[in-house]
């Protein structure tokens, strides 16, 4: 049986002009995870990722931490890397814009909570077809794209370890679908995924199974507690 290790990107730049940029803490989180896997002797056979900058930066940090385990053992070449827009995050600005509401700047605990509560409302309406955010696919297309990537990995990487770097939305979508949960369950899962958290899916020729969700063993030590983030 193979395993897909789905990793949410490191902490990005919430509230900044360009969210799609890891913070200094985000880079440390990614390298910490790679170092943890190196210590565990985990070897990957292939890498998949979204095309966003934060995905590529997270992958770079992971590979730095993995060191020599982040290459093909036989040749020393870089691991085969497939980038797919199907693993990119939904557009939160488009979702909120579709609600036609005006929110205060999310720069206090209260306004941040309001931001995410409203985003959850928008996601629910996107999923039931009530709104059509500009520039975004319909929910069935988004969900189908994520599952298509998993099915491609299932077909091509039997018995292998595959690293997949993406965002909370696609990862939560995959978990809800694999569990056979109602689609809206994805929203609750999405809101709980921590930066560089690891979700493991087991793959066989006939099934994809959830093995673990939202794990941060690389940040479990008390000394690393300040590295646990969700943005």
Same domain, 97 and 83: no
Q: What is the pLDDT of residues 87-111, one digit of tens each?
A: 999 999 999 999 988 888 888 989 9
Same domain, 144 and 80: yes
Same domain, 79 and 111: no
Q: Domain end: 135, 165, 200, which one?
A: 135
What mean pLDDT is reported for the chain?
93
Same domain, 45 and 142: yes
Q: Domain end: 109, 135, 161, which one?
A: 135
pLDDT of residue 231: 84
Same domain, 39 and 111: no
Pairing of strands 46-49, 198-203: unpaired
Same domain, 7 and 75: yes
pLDDT of residue 106: 85
CA angle in degrees (0–180, nearest 5) for 7-10-14: 130
> Residues within the annotated binding site for substrate?
54
Q: How confident is the model at residue 74 (pLDDT cuts 50, 70, 90)?
A: low
3-state SS, 126-179, equals HHCCCCCCCCCCCHHHHHHHHHHHHHHHHHHCCCCEEEEEECHHHHHHHHHHHH
pLDDT of residue 75: 63
pLDDT of residue 154: 97
| CATH number for 13 | 3.40.50.1240
Same domain, 65 and 25: yes
Q: What is the pLDDT of residues 181-199, one digit of tens each?
A: 998 999 999 999 999 999 9
Which residues contact residue 109 at a Cβ distance below 8 angstroms, ignoring those fewer than 6 apart?
A: none
Q: What is the pLDDT of residues 15-56, one digit of tens each?
A: 676 789 999 999 999 999 999 999 999 999 999 999 999 999
Same domain, 127 and 210: no
Same domain, 82 and 6: yes
pLDDT of residue 105: 85
> Residues within the annotated binding site?
54
Give the H or E element holding residue 66.
helix 53-66
Same domain, 71 and 143: yes
Domain that holds residue 128: 91-135
* Percent of the chain scoring above 90 in pLDDT: 82
Between CA 44 and CA 4 the distance in angstroms is: 10
Same domain, 118 and 212: no
Q: Is the pLDDT of residue 226 over 80?
A: yes
Q: Is the pLDDT of residue 73 over 70?
A: no
**Over residues 148-162, mean pLDDT:** 96
Same domain, 20 and 67: yes
Q: Domain end: 68, 100, 135, which one?
A: 135
> What domain count does the chain have?
2
Between CA 63 and CA 224 the distance in angstroms is: 20
**Over residues 116-144, mean pLDDT:** 97
């Amino acid at each position: 049986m193979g395993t897909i290790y789905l990793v949410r990107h490191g902490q990005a730049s919430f509230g900044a002009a360009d969210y799609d940029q890891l913070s200094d803490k985000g880079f440390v989180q990614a390298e910490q995870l790679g170092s943890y896997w190196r210590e565990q002797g985990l070897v990957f056979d292939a890498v998949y990722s979204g095309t966003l900058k934060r995905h590529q930066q997270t992958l770079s940090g992971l590979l730095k931490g993995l060191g020599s385990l982040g290459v093909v053992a036989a040749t020393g070449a870089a691991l085969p890397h497939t980038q797919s827009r199907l693993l990119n995050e939904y557009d939160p600005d488009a979702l909120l814009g579709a609600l036609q509401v005006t929110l205060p700047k999310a720069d206090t605990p209260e306004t941040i909570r309001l931001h995410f509560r409203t985003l959850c409302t928008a996601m629910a309406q996107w999923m039931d077809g009530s709104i059509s955010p500009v520039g975004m696919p319909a929910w069935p297309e988004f969900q189908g794209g994520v599952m298509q990537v998993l099915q491609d990995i299932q077909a091509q990487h039997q018995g292998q370890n595959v690293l997949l770097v993406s965002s909370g939305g696609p990862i939560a979508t995959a978990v809800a679908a694999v569990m056979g949960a109602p689609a809206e369950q994805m929203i609750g899962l999405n809101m709980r995924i921590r930066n560089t958290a690891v979700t493991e899916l087991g793959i066989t020729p006939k099934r994809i199974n959830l093995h673990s969700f939202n794990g941060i063993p690389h940040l479990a030590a008390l000394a690393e507690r300040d590295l646990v983030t969700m943005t």
